[in-house]
Structure 1
Amino acid sequence: MTTVRLFNNDCVESMKELPSDSIDFIITDPPYNLGNFMKNRATNLVKMRENFFGAAGWDNLDSDSWEYSMHQFFMESSRLAKKGSSMIVFMAVIKVETIIKIAEKYDFYYKTTGTWHKKNPMPRNMNLHFVNSTESWIYFTYKTRTGTFNNEGMVLHDFIETSLTTSKEKRFGKHPTQKPEELLSHFIKILSNKDDTVLDPFMGSGTSGVVSKRLSRNFIGIELDKTYFDIASMRIAEEENVSIET
């Protein structure tokens, strides 16, 4: 039986409680630092989307404070990561360069930036400009230039295409930036092995935990917001043979 540990707390504070050199793979979707930026733009997102992330309050740091929080995140990640482990960070394209510069200060080796294409994006402002249908992801390895890569002899592109999160995956509640299980499964299969330990410091509604359990990985998830933490706990508890420690 693989194990699950869940923390309802600030991610850096909870990461400090974990042992050094204990994590095989980190996959996470931190705040993009776009809350204030989006609220100041002339969009109708709030009207079209009830739980628009820009109005949620957790993405409203000024740029300096956000960068400081990312430094803290990568510093703790470097302590926890095993040599040769990997990391995937989802990020807005306009913040990718900043994240790479911060990560490299803490011995994370930059591998590539890829694109997730949403096949059925919300057609907001479709008569005014191009519909936003992509997000970026950044791939790092820790203190080495190679890591686990289970491609099974196949050529894997840096372009991944899936539908948005299904209503079934949101049955316990909605998260404004919830990633689909298919997307996270793609990375967890390729960049980790069975019985490895996967860490998601910005767990949200727990998709990374659901997929990790399904793929026989140990999982550690951290989420500050109690509402989303409870959703994650319920989703992960549905998986078979799960032992959850909170």
Structure 2
Amino acid sequence: MSSLSQTSQKKQRAPMNRTLTLDEQDKARLTLRILKKLPSTPFSEPPTGTIQGNCLEVAKLLPEGFVDLLVLDPPYNLNKSFNGRKFSRRTVDEYAIWLDEVVSTLKPLLKKTASIYICGDWLSSASIFTVASSHFVVQNRITWEREKGRGAKSNWKNSSEDIWFCTMSEDYTFNVDNVKLRRKVIAPYRKDDGTPKDWESTKEGNFRDTHPSNIWTDITIPFWSMPENTDHPTQKSEKLIAKLVLASTNSNDFVLDPFLGSGTTSVVAKKLGRKYLGIELDEEYSLLAEKRLEIAELEPEIQGFSDGVFWERNTLAIQQKGVFSNAKPSREQLPLLNF
């Protein structure tokens, strides 16, 4: 059975489930938008869109020095199945050797001013730092709260992931004002004249725009009621990737994701006015990416991002009464939910 047919079988879903799926018409239409057959000679210009294939093979056909931002979200160092393709846990050293091959192959594609974000968990982070520090300038490590997951009885519950922020040099883009977080003020301070000090009072509450830190607690992993959700087992949220794109690129810059999955990086780049190329080995995930890109043309919103700031979870003023009721929300309502 092909990887495409394995996950295409009908699943029993709850009536309110919003998970994006593919029907036969989708597959027939979207297959034409994916580049599957690689050319015999290298690309003279970087392609955009989605390439289905092995990123290590594709990278050798791409021109050098065109990428402004590399979002590298490889399989973590654990046992995981991706639509029938299995990645097996290795020793820390073995994973580092594998990751070094990936980075070494992709590095020539980067501009001298490029930024790189490498995703991992607590175990793979040991290998990531070793590899990243040998190729790039390691600027920081972001840790974000992954609220999903079952509790552990003999260990601490694993509820965080890391993103290592690296650059090719000390000359790089970082737009700090584009990634501020709007937090709700619980105990607001006032000036002597009684006016708010570094916060704003609104009818929905008191808020302050804060500079971004390397601890993110405002990210929700895509789940069944979110319109961006797919069946990909390790899908990142659009809100998370949007922070990386807005901070480390400018309009019309080029974003590359060589482990595209179901397309989050490309979708976010499209919504934010960047060029993009995603490479994905699996056919079904490639098609899902194209379907999401199609939807993004009509629905450019990013949940949790509004008015040029990222809102803390469950504080966005445009949440509408009745969206969480038993009535089925429309697609027009869904993007307004703040996750």
Could you say which TM-score interval applies, normalised by the shorter chain? 0.7 to 0.9
Match of 1:111 among 118, 135, 139: 139
Aligned partner of 2:39 in structure 1 is none
SS at match of 1:58: strand
Name the counterpart of 1:150.
175
Which SS does the other structure have where 2:176 is aligned?
coil
Shift of 1:131: 2.7
Q: Structure 1 residue 125 and structure 2 residue 151: aligned?
A: yes
Q: Secondary structure at the match of 2:123?
A: helix
- The CA deviation at 1:188 is 0.6
Aligned to 1:224: 281
1:161-218 residue CA offsets vs partner (Å, 9 max, x unmatched): 21121433455x3111001111111111111111000000000010001100000000
Instruction: Normalising by structure 2, report the TM-score.
Output: 0.59
Of 79, 103, 118, 1:74 maps to 103
Q: Does 1 or 2 have the higher relative contact order (CA < 8 Å, sep 6+)?
A: 1
2:175 alignment partner AA: N
- TM-score, normalised via structure 1 length: 0.80
Tell me what 1:135 maps to. 161
Other-structure match for 1:21: 65
Equivalent position of 1:49 in the other structure: none
The 1-side partners of 2:167 and 2:286 are apart by 28
Question: Does the aligned pair in 1 maintain the 2:82–2:232 contact within 8 Å?
Answer: no
Taking structure 1 as reference, are residues 54 and 6 closer, same or farther at Cα in structure 2, changes over 3 Å only? Answer: closer
Q: 1:25 to 1:56 in 2, by over 3 A?
A: same
Distance in 2, matches of 1:199 and 1:19, equals: 13
> Structure 1 174/100 Cα, relative in aligned 2: closer, same or farther at 3 Å?
same
* 2:165 alignment partner AA: Y
Change (3 A) 1:127 1:70: closer
Q: CA deviation at 1:96?
A: 1.6
What is the CA RMSD across the aligned residues, in angstroms? 2.4
Q: Is the 8 A contact 1:87 1:139 kept in 2?
A: yes
| Larger helix share, 1 or 2 | 1
Structure 1 regions of 5+ residues with no counterpart? 36-51, 242-246
Is residue 181 of structure 1 aligned with residue 181 of structure 2? no
Aligned residues of 1:25 and 1:191 also touching (Cα < 8 A): yes
Q: Percent identity?
A: 28
Give 1:57 shift: 4.0
CA contact (8 A) 1:34 1:54 kept: no
Determine the C-alpha separation between the residues in 1 that align with 2:158 and 2:83.
Answer: 18
Match of 1:200 among 247, 257, 268: 257
In the alignment, what sits opposite 2:216? 160
Q: Provide the C-alpha distance between the structure 2 equivalents of 1:188 and 1:169, rounded to a whole number of angstroms.
A: 21
Query: Which amino acid in 2 is paired with 1:177?
Result: T
Asked which structure has the greater CA Rg, the reply is 2
Distance in 1, Cα, partners of 2:104 & 2:245? 22
Q: CA deviation at 1:130?
A: 3.2
